[in-house]
Structures are given as structure tokens and as C-alpha cells.
Amino acid sequence: MARVYNFSAGPSTLPESVLKTAADEMLDYHGSGQSVMEMSHRSKVYEEIITGCEALLREVMNIPDNYKVLFLQGGASSQFAMIPLNLMNKSGKADFVITGQWAKKAYQEASRYGTANVVASSADKTFSYIPTLDPATFDKDADYFHICLNNTIYGTKFHTLPETGDVPLVADVSSCILSEPIDVSKFGMLYAGAQKNMGPAGLTVAIIREDLIGHARDITPTMFNYQTHADAGSMYNTPPTYAIYICKLVLEWLKNDIGGLENMKKINEEKAGILYDYLDSSKLFKGTVEKGSRSIMNVPFVTGDEELDKKFVAEAGKKGFVNIKGHRTVGGMRASIYNAMPVEGVKALVEFMKEFEKENA
Ligand SMILES: *Cc1c(COP(=O)(O)O)cnc(C)c1O
């Protein structure tokens, strides 16, 4: 059976060795006689999986002790409400940078619970850049300052963090978590849906400074209160057990096969470099993002001719390069080259693009 090169923005490709291990352990996990899917989440054997997953995430990301790691559900999208419910509790205000649809959704949801203020936006140019920020325009009283660190749809990334002083910086890292080292101590909170770079859909990870927990509004549903999950070790109710298991395998791969986030960053920069170098030299294809704002995870590009874009996507699919159609708001193509996309996959894609360019010049 041939596997394709899957450039999906999410759910996305997983390391093949992880899938093989999962397959080997499907019927009988470590002599338990059960699949991980079938286990009680309160069993000893499962406890080792969830605590092992958290320990590995802490190690790989170098998460300080005064941060809780929570395994949640509901996707990054639920965090758009959970964050204001838990954090918008003093001035009732928060600052937002609108760099795309996810950032906008976080802002819109927070507006339902308090005063959400837009500090800057790149909507004027279809979110093709990260706006320059002036800390003088930030609200010193804000309960938090929200950014989307890597913009999955538009292919932009913050290369410097906003200087928010004592205001906790909260970042949606759904599409860049584990792609390179990150200084967790610079943030009040980080959160991510797992299905881009951590594992399968169904798991949402929140990494949150302890002092930000325990101040939720009275109306907050129990399941939406970070305290609930922090107190219960992410076991208040049934956690997404199988997704956590796969996440643990992904972290083992990242630690043992890749050698940690410094190495992962080098590999990701190599992959992105191969694609951007070609885009910058091509006469047919061009990247849609300003150079200084480029993401190393999501790379949108166009030919400038919609019919040719369609033809490219169709022919690419036939050659085993799948899920490369761009988001409808950008058009064209988008190659998501998350951690599990091998360098060979990007090289093969660029070779195919060169051929297509020759034939369609
Ligand atoms: C995919 C994505 C989301 C949405 O995640 P869900 O888990 O589907 O809710 C939010 N933010 C970013 C940056 C994403 O890439």
C-alpha cells in the first residue's frame, strides 16, 4: 500500500513510526490484553499513559513548574470562550491582534463576555502580514493580550512577541506547537488543538500559569473552568484517552527519533527553505505572504490564474500530493508542512512544481 504525501492543514500527517506502533499495539497494549481505546481511564495502565504524556510534553517543551498542563476537549475553538470566562475577571477587558480567521474568532467570542479591543489587524491585505505593534497602544489594565502565533490559513507567524509587560500574553499555538523551541515563561497561557502537530483530533492542550487558574466567573460551566481540570489532573471526566496515547507516541518520536525541538526547528526550517526558495525563483508560482512574516508550517502560494491553480491541485493529487488546495479566502494552494512531513516530501513536491512550471509556462 502506498502512502501519499499529505499536506493537509489539519487533521494532518502523523509520523509513520507512530502509526506503526499504534497498529502493533492495537489489540494488546503492553500485555494488558486490551486496546488503549478499551481501557478504563482510571486504570493503572492508562494512568501511566496520561502521566507519561504530560511528563514528556513538559520535558520536550521545557515547561516551567508553575504552569499546569491540561488535556481538554472541544478544540481550540472552545478555548475562545474558555479563556474569557476564566481570565476576563478584573477589568473585563482584553487586547487582540487580528491576523486571521482564528484570531478573529477568539476576539468575537471574547466580545460576548467583556470588552475586546482590537490593537491591530492585517485584514486590509487578506492577512498576508503580521502588523507592527506599538506597545503604547496596549491596554495596561487588560486581563490578557491574545495572539494567534502561527496563522494556519494565511501562512504568517509572529517572529517577535508583543511586549505586554504584566498583562498575560495568551497565544493560540494550534499550528506551531512543537515545531520549534518556545519560551513558555513569556506567556500566561498557550493552547492548541492537537490535530496539527501533536496527534489526532479530539485532544486540546492548554498550558497555563497557575496564578491564572481559579478566578473563573460564577456563570462558567464546570467543564469550562480550568480549575476543574487542574484539580482533577485532567481526569474530571473521561479524557480523550486514545488521542492522548497517540500524542504520547508523537512526543516519544520527537524526543528519541528527532532529538528534541532544536533539531525539529532545523528540519522545519530546511523544509520551509526548500519551498520558499523555489517560490522566490519561480516565474509561475508565488508565495502570498510578506517575507518577514512567513510561517515555517503553512505555505500558501498561487499562480495568479485560478484555472491553472485548479489544474495544479488536480494533477498534484494524481501524483500523490494531497490536500494542497488553498483556503477559499486565499485561493490557490497551501502546503502545510508540519513536523511529520518528511524533507523528502517537500523535495518531491518542489520537483513536481518545477515540472508543472515547465509544462505550463
Ligand atoms: C485549526 C485551528 C483552530 C481550530 O481548532 P479546532 O480544534 O478545530 O477548534 C484554531 N486556531 C488555529 C490557529 C488553528 O490552526
Establish whether 102 is a catalytic residue. Answer: yes
Q: Determine the average pLDDT of the residues in 297-323.
A: 97
pLDDT of 145 strictly over 70: yes
Residues 338, 293: one domain? yes
Percent of the chain whose pLDDT exceeds 70: 100
The pLDDT tens digits of the residues spanning 258-298 come to 999 999 999 999 999 999 999 999 999 999 999 999 999 99
Q: What is the pLDDT of residue 361?
A: 81
- Which of 96, 160, 164, 104 minimizes the C-alpha distance to 132? 160
Residues 233 and 100 grouped into a single domain: yes
Closest residue by Cα to residue 80 from 61, 59, 106, 44: 106
Answer with the one of 257, 273, 305 that is the final residue of a domain.
Answer: 257
Look at the pTM and tell me if it is higher than 0.95: yes
pLDDT, one tens digit per residue, over 227-260 is 999 999 999 999 999 999 999 999 999 999 999 9
- Helices 343-359, 306-318: crossing angle, 10 deg rounding: 130
Q: Which residues line ligand 1 (CB under 6 A)?
A: 10, 75-77, 102, 148, 152, 172, 174-175, 193, 196
Give the CA count within 13 Å in the CB-facing half-sphere of 40: 3
| Domain endpoint, select from 257, 290, 321 | 257
Residue 1 reports pLDDT greater than 70: no
Candidate from 8, 77, 151 with most ligand 1 atoms within 8 A of CB, to mutate: 77
- The overall average pLDDT reported for the chain is 97
Split into its structural domains, the chain has a count of: 2
Q: Give the DSSP H or E segment for 115.
A: strand 115-121
* Catalytic residue (one of 68, 95, 102, 157): 102
Residues 171 and 315 in one domain: no
Mean pLDDT for the stretch of residues 180-202: 98
187 and 159, same structural domain? Answer: yes
Is-catalytic flag, 196? yes
Q: How far is the CA of 76 from the centre of ligand 1 (A)?
A: 5
Residue ending a domain, among 257, 274, 294, is 257
Residue 2: pLDDT above 90?
no
Q: Is residue 283 part of a domain?
A: yes
Same domain for 240 and 264? no
Percentage of the chain exceeding pLDDT 90: 98
Eight-state DSSP code of residue 135: G
